[in-house]
Structure 1
Amino acid sequence: MKKIGMIGGLSWVSTAEYYKRINEITRSKAGGVTSARIVLESVNRQEYVTAVIDRNDEVAACRQIAQSASMLQAAGADFIIIACNDVHRFVPVIQPMINIPFLHIAQVTAEAVKARGLKRVAILGVRKTMECDFYPKIFAQNGLDAIIPSEPQRKIIHDSIYEELVHNRFLDATRERYQSIIADLAARGADSVALACTEIPLLLSQEQSPLPAFSTTELHCQSAVAHALAGQSFSASVNESRQ
């Protein structure tokens, strides 16, 4: 079994879900009381938020993630997953610094959407995820179109994540707002939705979504276990330009 390197702490809420699901999936696939080999590097979310939000310092934020990736490599990880969607914007910068690959959450999601025969995917996440180009680029490489919520909708989604979800607060009223936003995106032509913040699937299940919903957390965990157990190879870098 390969060792999974996990960058977590962004937030602890979804990191805990990752650890739980990876081990549940590993046990179901391997049998008995098998548990996953995981080495965790937990980022201090406050330091990250201070860099990204308070100082708007992308270089400092990227440096934090790069240091974590290097530590995972030194700890013997065979590949790395990041338990956070928006941090994947740094992967093209960090990948050349290390010798083990990232399992990219957007690529895993794109493959799952494509397998279902869907084409136009609405992206829900924090602002960096919705407004940066790493999801649209990877989706385009897989023949998919990305649909982005309107500015007022992006504000509702982003604020709810920062003010509620990462604090382990999941409110019915917020779930209803998400359902309304997804219904509007469907009217704009979306045929599916990527729950592209690792906390959103804890608020809104696939069954509660007006459109077919893809939990990036679940897809990432499933793929991580598949690679760990089967030793499948995958690209060491996503084919996109560095930012």
Structure 2
Amino acid sequence: MSLSRVYGETHGSRAIGIVGGVGCFAGLDLNRKIYQHSLARTDQEQVSVYLLSAGARIADRSAFLLGRSEVNPASGILQVLRMLDEMGVAVAAIPCNTAHAAPIFDPVVGQLQAEERRIRLISMVDALADHLLAEAPRLTRLGVLATSGAVRADVYGLALQRWGVEVLYPGERRQRALQAALYDPDYGIKATGQPVSLKARTALLDALQDLRLRGAESVVLACSELPLAVRPGVLAGCPIIDATAVLARALLREVAPARLRPLNWERQGRPKTARG
């Protein structure tokens, strides 16, 4: 039985919905990875994907979690999910790790259930937990690179502690540098997109190396912008996992499992450290 929680009732269509605007490239990146992981060979064989990018409607997730804003992004996310539901979407996802913090994600799920919406919402965090349990069952220490809001909420630590997986985050100084690499208006990835600035990439690689030296057996890129700077695979002996790619596979598994490509561990890596 899958650990990924799927919220709502089965919809008639087999279309995938994406809540875009949670990171300007996040929805596009998830859309692209859905098709990258599909075995479809023609346009007609591809699953239907509805991407609604409405960043102006959705407040900043990290600012809310850090107490810098009183506006819960859940309200804007719900607006987009309602539109996707009315379009007949079967399953949907929010390609933003920070949006899966309980103060944001739980109200979204609760309201969808209260409104008896037919759309099913797949948790990005649960999808990663499923992935790790299936593909890296001996993993004991997981490094996570994420926004400061997601770190404050301990999004992945809370999800994985029941399985005996210790989650490591960058130290305070490196986390500040990583947050700036994402948000700085001059060189941050959210502002520049690709190509990623050298300063932002350097901060990311420094945080990644720190996690590796502290014993992380694998590191998750748990912010949608991070794969723009570092490709998943194996870096300095450490497997790097793209949380968005894992989510893309989970969505395909829900609507078209026969079209899902076999998992390529040359890209995603497989931790080999045995659990004690």
Contact 1:113–1:214 (CA under 8 A) maintained in structure 2: no
Identical counterparts, % of pairs:
20
**1:102-113 matches, cutoff 5 A:** 102-113=121-132
Partners of 1:101 and 1:219 lie apart in 2 by 17
Structure 1 residue 205 corresponds to structure 2 residue 231: yes
Structure 1 residue 135 corresponds to structure 2 residue 187: no
Match of 1:216 among 219, 243, 247: 243
Stretch of structure 1 that moved more, 146-155 or 87-96: 87-96
Partners of 1:35 and 1:62 lie apart in 2 by 30
Partners of 2:50 and 2:217 lie apart in 1 by 37
Match of 1:40 among 26, 43, 51: 51
User: What runs of 5+ residues in structure 2 fail to find an aligned partner?
Assistant: 1-12, 259-276
- 1:174–1:55 distance in 2 versus 1, CA, 3 Å: closer
Structure 1 residue 165 corresponds to structure 2 residue 186: no
Higher helix share: 1
1:30 equivalent in structure 2: 40
Partners of 1:96 and 1:85 lie apart in 2 by 18
1:74 equivalent in structure 2: 86
Contact 2:145–2:221 (CA under 8 A) maintained in structure 1: yes
Partners of 1:187 and 1:23 lie apart in 2 by 35
Match of 1:57 among 66, 70, 75: 70
- 1:46–1:153 distance in 2 versus 1, CA, 3 Å: farther
AA aligned to 2:189 is: L
DSSP 3-state at the match of 2:77: helix
Could you tell me how far 1:125 is from its partner in structure 2? Answer: 1.2
Could you tell me how far 1:177 is from its partner in structure 2? Answer: 2.9
- 1:130–1:4 distance in 2 versus 1, CA, 3 Å: same
Partners of 1:84 and 1:175 lie apart in 2 by 20
DSSP 3-state at the match of 2:142: strand
Report the TM-score, using the length of structure 1 for normalisation: 0.83
Structure 1 residue 229 corresponds to structure 2 residue 243: no
1:238 equivalent in structure 2: none
Report the TM-score, using the length of structure 2 for normalisation: 0.74
DSSP 3-state at the match of 1:6: strand
Partner deviation per Cα, 1:99-132 (whole Å, 9 max, x = no partner): 3332111112222233223221111111111221
- 1:37–1:125 distance in 2 versus 1, CA, 3 Å: same
User: What runs of 5+ residues in structure 1 fail to find an aligned partner?
Assistant: 232-243
DSSP 3-state at the match of 1:212: strand
1:120 equivalent in structure 2: 141
Could you tell me how far 1:45 is from its partner in structure 2? Answer: 4.4
Contact 1:111–1:142 (CA under 8 A) maintained in structure 2: no
Could you tell me how far 1:46 is from its partner in structure 2? Answer: 7.6
Match of 1:189 among 204, 215, 223: 215
Contact 1:126–1:158 (CA under 8 A) maintained in structure 2: yes
Contact 1:121–1:194 (CA under 8 A) maintained in structure 2: yes
Aligned pairs, number:
228
- What's the Cα RMSD here? 2.4
